[in-house]
Amino acid sequence: MNNGKYIKMDRVIENVYRDYGFDNLDWIHCVEWIGECLDLIGAPLTYIKKATDGNEKLGHQSPVVIEDNRGKIPCDLHQVIQIFKKENGYYHPMRTSTDTTHISYFCNGKSSDINRDSEYTYTLNDNFIFTNFDEGELVIEYMANPTDENGYPMIPDNIKYIKACQAYIGDKILFKKEIKGVDIKPRVVLKIEQDLAWYTGAADASARIPTIDEMESWKNNFMKLIPNVNSHAGAFRSDGQMERRFNASNTNGNNNNRR
């Protein structure tokens, strides 16, 4: 369950020293292994939400600048949530293009919908975002890998995540030793492999358990007589609100009967 807190990787390294007794750990290798383990778990709790809205207090990047129909996407982007074109203080929601020749046409200014004001589209390719307009600014809401001040990965403050990363490092170290011909007791290998399989699965499951507040929003979203088919235009902000249903007006013309 998400508590919104993250810890530095030092906690995992200390556990490896304490529980496994390995000496002279390669710090850079451990950084890469922890990053691999977090991506293998891949649950939403693993990542943090960020935006290119220029909010310096939150450490956000400036809006993505589009020139000649393309702009550089953030280097820490893991998954896009939603993209908006920023124009005159307003955010205009965009959608992914269904045009299979999007990149070729837009780079040459030949797309049939390049001048449509209400249909901003984009595609992602090779670390760039391609848009159907020549110039502008984009606000990208996305999931990112959390890092500390040194750029090292941070881990959800969840014992299952901590144990999963610890076992992943232990498994990698034992595998390297076996390749070099070091005699490793089968029981040790089996124990760490079991811990890795158990805790990666447990971390993924625990990260997907919704809170009561999340379940309330989901309930309000699905228990509606009239689906909100235009949620995308409003950044889905009202999807979690309870539907207000009005009965027919009474004889006085008042809508006092509602639930």
| Model confidence pLDDT, tens digit, residues 206-224 | 888 888 888 898 888 888 8
Are residues 54 and 37 located together in one domain of the fold?
Answer: no
Q: Is residue 251 part of a domain?
A: no
Are residues 61 and 179 located together in one domain of the fold?
Answer: no
Q: Is residue 238 part of a domain?
A: no
Q: Is residue 110 part of a domain?
A: yes
Domain that holds residue 99: 48-144
Residues 176 and 221: their CA atoms lie apart, in Å, by: 50
Are residues 55 and 140 located together in one domain of the fold?
Answer: yes
Q: Is residue 219 part of a domain?
A: no
Residues 89 and 85: their CA atoms lie apart, in Å, by: 10
Residues 199 and 156: their CA atoms lie apart, in Å, by: 13
State the total domains in the chain.
Answer: 2
Decide which of 81 and 105 is more confident: 81
Q: Is residue 213 part of a domain?
A: no
> What confidence category does residue 231 fall into, taking pLDDT thresholds of 50, 70 and 90?
confident
Q: Is residue 197 part of a domain?
A: yes
pLDDT for 52-85, tens place per residue? 998 888 888 899 999 988 899 998 899 999 999 9
Are residues 52 and 131 located together in one domain of the fold?
Answer: yes
Q: Is residue 62 part of a domain?
A: yes
Burial class of residue 169, CB neighbours in 10 A (0-12, 13-18, 19+): buried
CA angle, residues 56, 61, 64, in degrees to nearest 5: 140
pTM for the predicted model, two decimal places: 0.76
For range 22-36, the mean pLDDT: 91
Are residues 58 and 111 located together in one domain of the fold?
Answer: yes
